[in-house]
């Protein structure tokens, strides 16, 4: 992301980020606009992850593109975790110094028999509290334990405190999707400009860098 674009993001004129990350396990390019309309172009090679990221963008009102190549001949772990890392980095970069945002967001989201709750504090202090049991280990070929891995990578790289709790649910697909949509809605609320904040950083410390 060039310097002028970064300055625009911090001024609130265009809160965007573009991140590229290459390791021996994955190669990922991601673009993000926090003030988008929910448009997603996702290609990770992991079908279920694509579905979840599309839902995250739509319900978070994020414009999101993700192109990922990973060692899927081993499993989906590295690709899923590394996409979470890059998405978290993009959110952090797009927010700049976090001036004028609401900071906190929460959502209690039903999806059929599933009910998931997400709460976010864009605090600069990364933490994940995860209380989401799955009743089976896979959704198709996707390991359900990777949902937690994705959100841990996302939270720690975004510099946010994230709590996700399952209140009800038995269908693994519904449980995972409810979690992604709840996080999307909570994130949307937390990153929104606060019209009463007058551009101030929402902290008595004057900083949200940890």
The answer to whether residue 25 is domain-embedded is yes
Q: Is the pLDDT of residue 12 over 70?
A: no
Arithmetic mean of pLDDT, 101-126: 96
Position 6 scores a pLDDT of 36
The pLDDT tens digits for 54-90 are 999 999 999 999 999 999 999 999 999 999 999 999 9
Arithmetic mean of pLDDT, 87-105: 94
Question: Whole-number mean pLDDT of the chain?
Answer: 91
User: Could you tell me the CATH number of the domain that includes residue 162?
Assistant: 3.30.230.40
- pLDDT higher for 209 or 175? 175
Position 3 scores a pLDDT of 34
| 3-class secondary structure per residue, the chain | CCHHHHHHHHHCCCCEEEEEEECCCEEEEEEEECCCCCCEEEECCCHHHHHHHHHHHHHHCCEEEEEEEECCCCCCHHHHHHHHHHHHHHHHHHHCCCCCECCEEEEEEEECCEEEEEEEECCCCCEEEEECCCCCCEECCEECHHHHHHHHHHHHHHCCEEEEEEEECCCHHHHHHHHHHHHHHHHHHHHCECCCCCCCCCCCCCCCCC
Domain count, the chain: 1
- Global pTM reads 0.90
Domain span holding position 142: 3-191
Arithmetic mean of pLDDT, 124-143: 97
The answer to whether residue 153 is domain-embedded is yes
The pLDDT tens digits for 152-185 are 999 999 999 999 999 999 999 999 999 999 999 9
The answer to whether residue 132 is domain-embedded is yes
Q: How far apart are CA 33 and CA 9, in angstroms?
A: 9
């Amino acid at each position: 992301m060039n310097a002028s674009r970064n300055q625009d993001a911090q001024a609130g004129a265009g809160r965007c980020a573009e991140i590229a990350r290459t390791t021996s396990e994955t190669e990922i390019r991601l673009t993000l606009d926090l003030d988008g309309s929910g448009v997603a172009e996702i290609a990770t090679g992991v079908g279920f992850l694509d579905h979840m990221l599309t839902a995250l963008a739509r319900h978070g009102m994020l414009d999101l593109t993700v192109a990922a190549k990973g060692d899927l001949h081993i499993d989906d772990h590295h690709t899923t975790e590394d996409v979470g890392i890059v998405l978290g980095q993009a959110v952090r970069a797009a927010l700049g110094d976090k001036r004028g945002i609401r900071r906190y967001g929460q959502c209690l989201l039903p999806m059929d028999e599933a009910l998931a709750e997400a709460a976010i504090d864009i605090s600069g202090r990364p933490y994940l509290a995860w209380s989401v049991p799955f009743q089976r280990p896979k959704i198709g070929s996707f390991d359900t334990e990777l949902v937690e891995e994705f959100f841990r990578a996302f939270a720690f790289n975004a510099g946010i405190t994230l709590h996700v709790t399952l209140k009800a649910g038995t269908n693994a697909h519904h449980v995972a999707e409810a979690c992604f949509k709840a996080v999307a809605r909570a994130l949307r609320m937390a990153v929104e400009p606060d019209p009463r904040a007058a551009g101030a950083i929402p902290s008595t410390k004057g900083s949200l860098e940890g």
